[in-house]
Structure 1
Amino acid sequence: MQKINNKFNGKIKSNFDINEENVANMTVQYIDSVTSDNLELQKYLLNFLIKKIVDKSDQTSVLEYSIFNKLKNIKHMQDKLNKVFPNGITEFRYYLDTKYKELNNALKEKKFQKADEITKNYLIQLAQENIKVKRKWLYFTDIHSIPPYDLFFIDLLWKIYSNSRFGFSVQRNIWLSCNKNWGIFLEKINWNQENKIKRYPDEFTWNTSATKGHLPLFNQIRGNQAFLSLLEHHAWIIYDC
């Protein structure tokens, strides 16, 4: 499968040196030829589209719209596509270029400590949108108020810019693999040192050499209840992360 994906990816990239209209025509013809009955390539194509839009955040190309329309016409891909792009590419770009621009820029520049702080502030704002008296922290009871799509989008950016090493859904999958054993989980993501939570920020690793699932930190300093609620958030079921 990896060889097929590399060939597919290379075929598309080889066309980017040609003018925009020819890129769309040539590449979509190729996509049509390889995706009609190939479920794995259809899934790969969706991931390729998402990454391409995020990488090229200034505008949407003819190629990206062409891939989007191709996937939209494949019946069993429509549900997944509607979850990622509930109101099309335009609203996805609003989240990318406006609503979460600060996080997107920090992650793109690999400034993971800054991105961690930005993420914390976003989650606090999202969870308290309907609360009159604002706080600078979250209770575990606040977590369910975070809209699923916003949580999915924040997590998506973390995964894209870390090559799927970081993100809440990555942490959730590790937690599940540990049978929800909190002590084992903290060891796995390297938050513990000699059975104690590491000191923020110096004892944490702020680059992609960190253990898988090490970032973002979220609410680790205030205990595990809020973080546990985040790992149990219904967004992960909706988006099958």
Structure 2
Amino acid sequence: MKQINNDLQKTLHRLNFQKIDINQQDVNLIWEISEDIEHGIPILKETLLEHFQNSSITAVDGIIYEILLQSPNSEIQTFIQRQFSDGIVPLKSVKNIDYASLQKALVNKDFLLADKLTQKKLCELAGIDQHQRDWLYFTDVVDLPIEDLYTIDTLWRVHSWNRFGFSIQNQIWNTLKPNHEKLFTKIHWIIDQNLCRYPQEFTWDVSAPKGHLPLFNQLRGSQALITLLSHKAWQTS
């Protein structure tokens, strides 16, 4: 048993929890560990709980959580419900906005729904009456609270292999600014010099280029988006 645990620990140590670019090989490695119900699953549970308690959750933890969530084992499901009843990302909001539906969509990899919910939550955060409009002006974006933006962004990053989120787009933007068309091309909002049509010409899974999601007002120009990507939230994340 000691040898088995040592082997599993060695496998786990091959995972870089701070890794920026996660790939299918990393996911397969976690699945490999999880297939050992007796020894691998306890190691994954212990690791996830430790990172959660230390507030050090990453996208690799997101994969572990989602794999455990898929398990038919009742003991694992009891553990998930007891320790992570609200997920592994703290749903903090200074305006008491409920991000549970967004979290659920992202955990389920329903990125189209998550994109719609993100826009809805941002409008709610900005105090916009959705009977009037369902988009944001750049003036709405400036005062969006850091804590809520960080919650939304963390949900996207943790549940997308670290591929999607506003902070990811911000990193790309910082290498391309001030040319927003280069940004749109890089993240495949523009293909062959044509703005992609919603929703059919966007990619709603992790095969999309980094920063492809979430969408944000691109059909209404770039000012609101650039304001969001320049928000002070990304200077502290």
Q: Please classify the TM superposition score into its range, dividing by the shorter chain length.
A: 0.5 to 0.7
Structure 1 residue 6 corresponds to structure 2 residue 14: yes
CA contact 2:60–2:161 (8 Å) conserved in 1: no
Counterparts in 2 of 1:9-20, with a 5 A limit?
14=39, 16-17=41-42
Counterparts in 2 of 1:147-158, with a 5 A limit?
147-158=145-156
> Alpha carbons of 1:187 and 1:238: their partners in 2 closer, same or farther (altered >3 Å)?
same
CA contact 1:128–1:134 (8 Å) conserved in 2: no
Q: 1:58 aligns with which of 81, 91, 95?
A: 81
Query: For 2:152, what is the secondary structure of its paired residue?
Result: helix
Residue 5 (structure 1) shift: 4.1
Q: Which residue of 2 aligns with 1:46?
A: 56
Uncovered stretches (5+) of structure 1, i.e. residues with no partner: 32-43, 62-88
TM-score by length of structure 1 reads 0.64
CA contact 1:113–1:206 (8 Å) conserved in 2: yes
Query: For 1:58, what is the secondary structure of its paired residue?
Result: helix
Uncovered stretches (5+) of structure 2, i.e. residues with no partner: 1-9, 18-29, 70-79
CA contact 2:111–2:205 (8 Å) conserved in 1: yes
Residue 105 (structure 1) shift: 0.7
TM-score by length of structure 2 reads 0.65
* Counterparts of 2:126 and 2:146, CA distance in 1: 11
CA contact 2:118–2:152 (8 Å) conserved in 1: yes
* Counterparts of 1:94 and 1:128, CA distance in 2: 17
Q: Which residue of 2 aligns with 1:122?
A: 121
* Counterparts of 1:141 and 1:8, CA distance in 2: 39
CA contact 2:190–2:196 (8 Å) conserved in 1: yes
* Counterparts of 2:15 and 2:194, CA distance in 1: 47
Instruction: Decide which structure has greater helix share.
Output: 1
Query: For 1:149, what is the secondary structure of its paired residue?
Result: helix
> Alpha carbons of 1:17 and 1:143: their partners in 2 closer, same or farther (altered >3 Å)?
same
* Counterparts of 1:92 and 1:230, CA distance in 2: 22
Corresponding pairs, count: 188
Whose relative contact order is higher, 1 or 2, with alpha carbons under 8 Å and at least 6 apart? 2
